[in-house]
Structure 1
Amino acid sequence: MTSIPRAPLFLGLAGLIPFLWGAATVVSDDLAEFALNSLGARFVGPYVQLAYGSIILSFMSGVLWAFATKASGAQAAVGYALSVVPALWAFFMVGGGPTSAAMNLIFGFAGLLMLDFAFSAWGLTPRWWMALRILLTAVVIACLGLTVMI
């Protein structure tokens, strides 16, 4: 396994903060009350996770699109088509109540990991890409899982 460069690793880990914060406010009533009073309802519990999760799925569509530019012919066409799936998933599937929306985000991030694997297998990603994506996806799914269970 190739080591992950520091900048992508640190930025990726920083990108977990809204998921971790949302999970923390789900499991701690005191923290949720503090966040509600000081930051507002948008930054408490599942709401921060759902909004941010939708943004990240859309962002990752752009990342996959960039990887698709390295392909040619039919592989490029498939890559471009697959790259829009995470953003469309977030748009169409993240709605309704917080439990169903969080479940759909879990499925979206799991599906994104499969797309990451495909792009990696096609040689379109950096060598360290899957190590980073597995780490980040595991944390995201665990945080969203707490929201679903509680």
Structure 2
Amino acid sequence: MIDDARIPRPALLLGLAGLIPFVWSAATHLSPGLSAWAGQFMQPMFLGSYVGLTYGTVILSFMSGVLWGFATKTEGRDAALAYTLSVIPALWVFFMVSDASDTSAIFLAAGFVGLLLLDAMFQAWGLAPRWWLRLRVMLTVVVLGCLAIPLQA
């Protein structure tokens, strides 16, 4: 019998791998030595908070596509609502994350919190797999922690 509440190994591994740029962002922000070393062969956009903001923008947009895919399981008014909600993360990041400022980092983090709420809604509606929210909570906690590090005074 297949346990449909268990996170599939490929989804877990790819989800964890997707955290690497966020963790790298935090690490190169916290360690000037690591940042200086990496800066010898990497462009500035791949160091510090900038990489977290850039990658986070990509991922929030990607997650809109994931929600869109879940919306395909609906019809009629439910479909209209699900498709509309699915584009919110991409629109949010497009309009609210405009530079490398702390304000953009806060808006990006808020976008990930909002995405988690949408994930919960889509799962409650039976559109996402049973394991989805467990994976998303785990990944979101790490993302938010990494995005918060550059905001510390």
Flag whether TM exceeds 0.5 (same fold). yes
Q: CA deviation at 1:149?
A: 1.3
1:110 corresponds to which residue? 113
* SS of structure 2 residue aligned to 1:37: coil
Counting helix residues as a fraction of each chain, which structure ranks higher? 1
Aligned identity (percent) is 55
The question of whether the paired residues in 2 share the 8 Å contact of 1:49 and 1:144 is answered with yes
What letter corresponds to residue 57 of structure 1 in structure 2?
L
The question of whether the paired residues in 2 share the 8 Å contact of 1:24 and 1:45 is answered with yes
Q: Does residue 83 of structure 1 match 2:86?
A: yes
Q: Does residue 96 of structure 1 match 2:99?
A: yes
Cα RMSD between the aligned structures? 1.2
Q: What TM-score do the two structures reach when normalised by structure 1?
A: 0.96
- Over residues 56-98 of structure 1, what are the superposed CA-to-partner deviations in whole Å (9 max), with x where a residue is unaligned? 0000000000000001111110000000000011111112343
Describe the shift of the 1:34–1:20 C-alpha distance in structure 2 as closer, same or farther (beyond 3 A). Answer: same
After superposition, residues 1-150 of structure 1 pair within 5 angstroms as 2-150=5-153
- Over residues 3-56 of structure 1, what are the superposed CA-to-partner deviations in whole Å (9 max), with x where a residue is unaligned? 211000000000000000000001000011112221110111011111100000
> Structure 1: 5+ residue runs without aligned partners?
none
What is the total number of aligned residue pairs between the two structures? 150
How far apart, CA to CA, are the structure 1 residues paired with 2:150 and 2:81?
Answer: 34
> Structure 2: 5+ residue runs without aligned partners?
none
The question of whether the paired residues in 2 share the 8 Å contact of 1:47 and 1:98 is answered with no
